[in-house]
Amino acid sequence: MEALACVLFAACVISTAGALSANALDMDWQPMDASNADLPAGVRVFAGTEPNLPLRAWYVSVAPGEDSGRVEVLVSDDPEDRRETVSSFAADTGACVVINGGYFTMERTPAVHAGLLVVDGVVEAPATRSVVRDEVHYPTARAALGLTPGGFDIAWVASREGSLEAWSSPPPHRRGAPVELNLATAVTWTVEDALGAGPALVSNGEIDVTTDEEVFFGTAIPYTHPRTAAGVTADGRLMLMLVDGRQRESRGVTLEELAALMVGVGAEEALNLDGGGSSSLVVNGKLLNNPAGRGTEREVMTALGVFCD
């Protein structure tokens, strides 16, 4: 999204003109045969358009198992500002698919991740512990994607005394009415890699955008933007989606519309990742989208990489 000071802590006013109800979207998805020819059978890329709207999107389906792609959280090793383009991540690591990842502070150098970041079992950044809105304190458990040897998991996660605690549903915060986190109902979350962002979009195969529960109200995140999302299907596939926005050819989507798109491609669980000018998707070394209509990529701190070797 835009500078984190705007995205997470200010009520930026952004137009939602032309928005339809989430269920009104009718994407026509087609396999990208030329790209898929160079990918393992368990990794498939699709491109979609909406016949009634200026809207275009892509998603990548990654099946679990050794015969598909290995998925990792990537963190920039740039020595100056700790950020780089998604194309740079792809070139440096050799990943066949790379999509941008979590939130980070654009106004700080080097960049600092905003939310949970776990790489190779090491917590590089803790989950966001609390948020203040209108002088009200909310202890937080925000959505995160976890990568394990057995597959992929999405949960609401908090950092506590050196461990990660996870819930299958978010804390029932409402504006002006915070609740305490119930650690008695949490389980220890053991992951190799993890990436926190939010809010969650889909739960149990249904649209369930937890903006209030994750305390993203009072920010620009719920408005119409270019978007990136990750989801998990009932049979364990990882779904990575990008929607172009802020351009004549594609207006972007709201969180509810993004959730509907994820449900439409089979996601049982899904969460929103960093979006806006950060949204970039590279497949086989080629940038598929036009980031925020600018034609150039924003440098980001983290990404998700699929390795097809």
* pLDDT tens for each residue of 35-94: 999 999 999 999 999 999 999 999 999 999 877 889 999 999 999 999 999 999 999 999
pLDDT higher than threshold 50 for residue 17? no
Identify the pLDDT of residue 12.
32
User: Is residue 18 predicted with pLDDT exceeding 50?
Assistant: no
In a domain, 168, yes or no: no
> Cis (ω within 30 of 0) for the bond into 170?
no
Whether residue 214 lies inside any domain: the answer is: yes
Would you place residue 6 in the very low, low, confident or very high pLDDT band (cuts 50, 70, 90)?
Answer: very low
Specify whether the CB–CB gap between 149 and 192 falls below 8 A: yes
- Domain contains 148: no
- The pLDDT of residue 23: 61
The structural domain count of the chain equals 1
pTM: 0.92
Residue 122 lies in a domain: no
pLDDT for 13: 30
In a domain, 123, yes or no: no
Between strands 187-188 and 136-139, the pairing is unpaired
Per-residue model confidence (pLDDT) at position 142: 98
Show the domain range for 87: 4-12+30-117+197-307
User: Looking at the predicted structure, is the pLDDT value of residue 21 above 80?
Assistant: no
pLDDT-above-70 percentage for the chain? 93
Q: What is the 3-state secondary structure (H, E, C) of 38-97?
A: CCCCCEEEEEEECCCCCCEEEEEEECCCCCCCEEEEEECCCCCCCCECHHHHHHHHCCCE
- Examine residue 135 and state whether it is found in any structural domain, yes or no: no
Q: Which amino acid is it at 297? A: E
Provide the pLDDT for residue 69. 87
Q: Using one digit for the tens of pLDDT, what is the confidence trace for 232-280?
A: 999 999 999 999 999 999 999 999 999 999 999 999 999 999 999 999 9
Owner of token pair 């970039």:
280
In a domain, 55, yes or no: yes
Angle at 143 between CA 224 and CA 172, to 5 degrees: 95
Establish if 48 belongs to a structural domain. Answer: yes
Give the residue ranges of DSSP H helices in the chain: 4-9, 33-36, 86-93, 255-264
pLDDT digits (tens, 9 = 90+) for 110-153: 999 999 999 999 999 999 999 999 999 999 999 999 999 889 99
